[in-house]
Structure 1
Amino acid sequence: MAGWGRISGGDYIQIPWVRNPMKRLYPGIFSFHFRNLIYANGRNSSYLCFEVAGVQYYSSRTVSFHRGVFRNQVYENKSYHAELCFLSWFKANKLSPGEHYHVTWFLSWSPCARCAEEIANFLKQHRNVTLRVFAARLYYFWNPAFQQGLRKLRCLGAQVKVMSYHDFNYCWENFVYNRYMRFRCWKKVHRNYNFMSTRLEEILRNMSLLPEEIFYYQFGNQPRVSEPKGRRKTYLCYKLKLLDVTLEQGYFKNKKKSHAEICFIDKICSLDLDQTQRYKIICYVTWSPCAHCAEKLVAFIDDHPHLSLQVFTSRLYVHWRWVNQHGLRQLWKSNIPVLAMTEPEFTDCWKNFVDNQERPFEPWEKLKQHSDKVKRRLQKILKINTIDLFSEQSSEEIRDLNNLVDAVRNLNLDAHDPHY
């Protein structure tokens, strides 16, 4: 017995009698519970076949390997899904901060909404664990709550896929008492795989993502557009990170009574983040903040010293007005750098916030020239009253603002990180 399982948020999931994993499954159990039916009535148990490879940080050498099977466990008329049983056993028996772990799951059902939340909390707390999930069937794939759970796992870096014929064959060879018999697949295995794979792709692709045409129109840094689509609005895409883990991401657009920046502030405040941690937020905006929003952002960061905020803007909002210029300078003075979006930032925004159908970002004509123009205007604004902007330094100590902007831009490492 593995004992109690501490899983999320410092709280204990009460699984007093977590059994150690089984080595393998009997062929009939595997064929019945892992059959990839679209609607599998009567299959109320969940099975989880797992592999855990522990790798040393500095030598990249595999130092431990574990394989086994968990299923639902019932204690005092309460059922605990296989995912929670694995996490409890793993934390209590195998998890060590000195190793990096590659965990692979083969599930008879994809995680439910509650399990997805627990898995997400686990991944947030343990950056030394990477997770791959292969599901034979999608659990309540039409339910928005279950869809959101899968998207949350995807946002935290977990791979979520549907089991193919090759995955079933792999499980048969490694997790089933097969008596050296070859795997014989059931009818419609390929057709059902194609159906569920398409559904999963649609679920993961619809992570509150921007349509391509909206991105190109709203984030395009051309000073004018010829399409008769009306005025371009403010869109704000944000990414909340703890070290190298993305905890939350999404986008807002202007509402009638609330600018996108205000919606963003309300969202971050609602997360109730741990004030003992240092979080980094990167924002991509179509228009730089107006004077009112700049004031709100400054007050927000002043009230939350555990947050650092970096803003990339496609265009400058009414930059010729002194009040908006003053707002931009106040942001810099409060350590909230506002930088012009260049091709790396547009590419990062495209990858993370656009329903891109896995197509690469295609820059529009004169993107670089428009970015350079926005950058020069922004630098000209920030050079005004530079001594006031950095009042603690003398004018002789103030370096050229171009170098400062480049240095701040280099802090945005994840825009160039291939992991994102």
Structure 2
Amino acid sequence: MEAANAKAEEKAKEEEKAKAKAEAIAKSRAQWTQKEFLFNYENLEMAGGRHETYLCYELMTSEGASGLKHLRNIPKGTIGIPDGKHVEVLLLEDLKDRKTITQVKCYLSWSPCKDCSQTLIQFSEENPEVDLIIYASRLYYANLNCKDEILVRETRAQLRNLAAVDKVCIKIMNKEDFEYCWKRLDFGPGKEFKAWEELDENHNYYKEELKKILAQVSVTSPVGGSDALNMPRRRQEQEVIELM
């Protein structure tokens, strides 16, 4: 009797976990509100409280362009997905069964973390026929004054390595890019995009920061050696990467 009860209890837990996992995946693809878009994509220099990453993406295939799709990350501690999932991982899961992709264009609220940069490097090297274009609203760990200096340097180095891969282009979102996403997310008639104060100024700030990151190729890491981690096989000899 006790064994049967334990088995039933275990089955109930597994069903609850599976349900929670399905709900988390559904939420990661749920429609955004205007408020969510504006809060998460606002290109502030100091973007406190924005712990999620949002992603809009569209594909070009041999059959033409797809519509704009959207994702948000699954946070750590989610039942059934305890480690969570970053939007870049969710994106690649969406792409794995597609065979005719020629271009992936992404609009991210934050630029990739060091692990996701490495994941995208691997994807690009395994799919050299695919152009990967990344627009970021803000740069993740762009501030060299952050207390975790090692993490900052590793994050910047991996972003630079990602940009060094053939077929990869990284840019900073401007007003036209925000408006492009806004219109295609279809918030309803009469809901026009209104630029926030300092949008252009902050765009220029992040654009200059990205230039500095991509041009910095031989800075000594605090743990020794070069901060050029896991340099991609292609374009390793390139000393300065121009912002496209």
Query: Under a length normalisation based on structure 2, what TM-score does the superposition of the two structures give?
Result: 0.73
Q: For 1:141-160, list aligned pairs within 5 A.
A: 141=142, 142=144, 143-157=152-166, 158-160=168-170
1:63–1:187 Cα change, 3 Å: closer
CA displacement at 1:150 relative to structure 2: 1.1
1:50–1:125 Cα change, 3 Å: same
Aligned counterpart, 1:70: 71
The answer to whether the 8 A contact 2:59-2:101 is kept is no
CA displacement at 1:66 relative to structure 2: 4.2
Once the two structures are aligned, what percentage of the paired residues are identical?
Answer: 26
Q: Give the match's secondary structure for 1:127.
A: coil
Deviation digits for residues 339-391 of structure 1 (CA, Å, limit 9, x no counterpart):
xxxxxxxxxxxxx33x4878xxxxxxxxxxxxxxxxxxxxxxxxxxxxxxxxx
Aligned length: 196
The answer to whether the 8 A contact 2:43-2:138 is kept is yes
The answer to whether the 8 A contact 1:49-1:107 is kept is yes
CA displacement at 1:22 relative to structure 2: 3.5
Q: Give the match's secondary structure for 2:154.
A: helix
CA displacement at 1:126 relative to structure 2: 1.3
Aligned counterpart, 1:122: 123
1:180–1:247 Cα change, 3 Å: farther
- 1:175 equivalent to 2:185? Answer yes
User: Which of 30, 34, 44 lines up with 1:37 in the alignment?
Assistant: 44
Aligned counterpart, 2:225: none
Aligned counterpart, 1:83: 88
The answer to whether the 8 A contact 1:24-1:177 is kept is no
- 1:26 equivalent to 2:12? Answer no
Q: For 1:50-69, list aligned pairs within 5 A.
A: 50-55=57-62, 62-63=63-64, 65-69=66-70
1:357–1:33 Cα change, 3 Å: closer
CA displacement at 1:182 relative to structure 2: 1.5
CA displacement at 1:183 relative to structure 2: 0.8
* Structure of greater Rg: 1
CA displacement at 1:250 relative to structure 2: 3.9
CA displacement at 1:54 relative to structure 2: 0.5
Q: Give the match's secondary structure for 2:117.
A: helix
Q: For 1:194 and 1:125, how far apart are their aligned partners in 2?
A: 33
Bigger RCO (CA 8 Å, 6+ sep): 2
The answer to whether the 8 A contact 1:24-1:176 is kept is no
Query: Under a length normalisation based on structure 1, what TM-score does the superposition of the two structures give?
Result: 0.43
Q: Give the match's secondary structure for 1:182.
A: coil
- 1:195 equivalent to 2:205? Answer yes
Aligned counterpart, 1:247: 233
Q: What RMSD over aligned residues (CA atoms) do the two structures have, in Å?
A: 2.4
Q: For 2:118 and 2:194, how far apart are their aligned partners in 1?
A: 35
- 1:110 equivalent to 2:111? Answer yes
Deviation digits for residues 282-306 of structure 1 (CA, Å, limit 9, x no counterpart):
xxxxxxxxxxxxxxxxxxxxxxxxx
